[in-house]
Each structure stands twice: as C-alpha cells, then as structure tokens.
Structure 1
C-alpha cells in the first residue's frame, strides 16, 4: 500500500519567518513518521494579484495550475498561516484564490486532501485569529479541515537552531496535530491511490 503523500507550506516567504519554521518542523516530524512529505516555499510559485479581467485576458498563471495539481496529488496538507491584522496574509489568500480558479482534473485541489492548519506569532495569541479565518476560507472551498490545530506564541524564541520546537508543550501540540493529520489522511485516502 502506498504511503500517504503530505505537503507542508507557509503563507509567508519572509526571511526568518516563524511560520516557515513551523511548516518545516511539521514536515520534519511527518518525515520521521515515514510519510511521503513535500516541503515547499511559495517563493518558488510567484503569482500576480488575482484579477478576473487578467484571468479572462491571459488565462490562468502556470504557477496556479502547478500548485493546484500539486495540492490535488496530496492526501494531506499542512498550512502555516502568519497573522496580518487579525487575518491571513495577502500572499496566502491570493494563492488560495488562484488555486481555486483551476478546474479539477482527476482530483480536486481542495476536496481531495485533508487539511491541517497552524500559526506561529511573536505575540501572545500565537496567530489564532488568522486560523479562524483560514479555516473559514478552506471550508468555503470545500476542504475538510481537521479540528486539531497548532498555535505557537512567542515564536521568535520557540525554535532552536535545528528548527525544532524548544518547548515540550508546543512539541506535544505539533505531534498531536501531525498524528491527527496522518490518521485522517490514511482514513480518507482515495482508493485509486492506495
């Protein structure tokens, strides 16, 4: 039986991003659990600001199609969402908007994989407000988003130089979220990919 394919990414491309660190920590944890894990940066998939007139005139950007196909091939996806003014980043929202415009082929970019979400923030709330908005967006796109999520407060000091979480409590949160994502992805893994 083929092992589940899992994708980890962050809605930030900033150098030193704590959400890139969180997505990396999740990818590392999942890899140690013998999952087929891809860790990507949206730096490699630049997209223009979504504009329906541009879409009508120029068609879908190649990177939107590439991301949609990549999403659709996964059994599970972990999204780390920075918090900008109490919501998701423009980068993440724009990326999801473009992916949603790509017609599904054999599998749907949002309805095929299981999603897990997390956030890391230097503040005391750990990005939880962005997670509420991200969950709403994913559900609106038809995604199944597991209830478990991870929120890392004081994130500027939460990771060591190897990219691992330094706090036992935070590490348990990550492990619990990863375990739920893996179990749910296995449970809902389409028969054709088994």
Structure 2
C-alpha cells in the first residue's frame, strides 16, 4: 500500500442513493434496507460515513437529487457532491479520507456498472483496501451496441469483476451486507 494510504480506519461510502437514480434500478427496497442497516451499524461503531451524490444530472435540492427515504445523513457525516462517475474526481473525497486516517473502504450504492464500479476501482488503484457490498448495490437495465443487459446481469458482472480484483499488498473483498463488520473506533484522550 502507498505510504500516504497507510490509514488504519474503515469508512462506509454510499454512492448515489438518490430518488432520481433509484427510480430505474432493480430491487430498490432490498438495497435501501441493506444500506440502511450498514449505516446503522457504522454509526453504532463510530465508523465514518461518506454520502456521495451525483450533481451532473440532478439540480441540487431537487426531489430527484435528494437521497431516498429513509436514508438521511447526520450533520457529522461527510457529504460529497460529484459531477462525474468517479467520486474522487473534482471532489474532496480523497483528501478527507487521508485526513481521517482511512485506508479501508466499504462501498455500496447505486449505478453498479458506472458510479459504484468506477469509485471502487479508482479507490483500489489509489491504494485503498476495498470491500464491495455485493447485495447492497443496484442498477437498471442497459443497452449498448445493440446488446441488452438486465439490471441483475449487470450487478452479477460487477460482482464478478470485484471478486477477482488483485493489486499487490492490498485487500479486496466482496461481501454480503450481513457479512460486513465494522469495528468500534477507539477514542484517545
């Protein structure tokens, strides 16, 4: 791992769980419930939470831009607003993670094939250890060059990609939401 990314803490990163995104995704209720459970468990242990929202397609504060109910950030949690698929490009995400001594990211959210995959792949290439929550990301059907894929096929392909991801001296995992364990953050006076 890069010296700069030798952080010891874990953070939960939630990508694009917005009304306008989930409207077209498969299994939104199940994914929302799993993300809500991850958030609750992260909060219980003091794990930092980063809420990433797309502003490329949605006007800030519009109904489509807002996070889906019941997901609501607390004032102490980080808000990252992005204009690209990549949550690191043009945002303060990386600097904030470094400042908080974070080296491990648990990633979930929406747009499996675009924003989730891009953020997780970029994090891996930057030296972070990454866990993708296999049953807590979602997307909709897509057609490219005449080939149609269902949302479930895209999710399965995204999971297959991360199941075999390999960089030297880094840990990558693909876990179900109920397999993710957040450790209590020690408070030093």
Give the TM-score band, short-chain normalised: 0.3 to 0.5
Query: Whose strand proportion is higher, 1 or 2?
Result: 2
- Superposition TM-score, scaled by structure 2 size: 0.38
Query: Whose helix proportion is higher, 1 or 2?
Result: 1
- Superposition TM-score, scaled by structure 1 size: 0.38
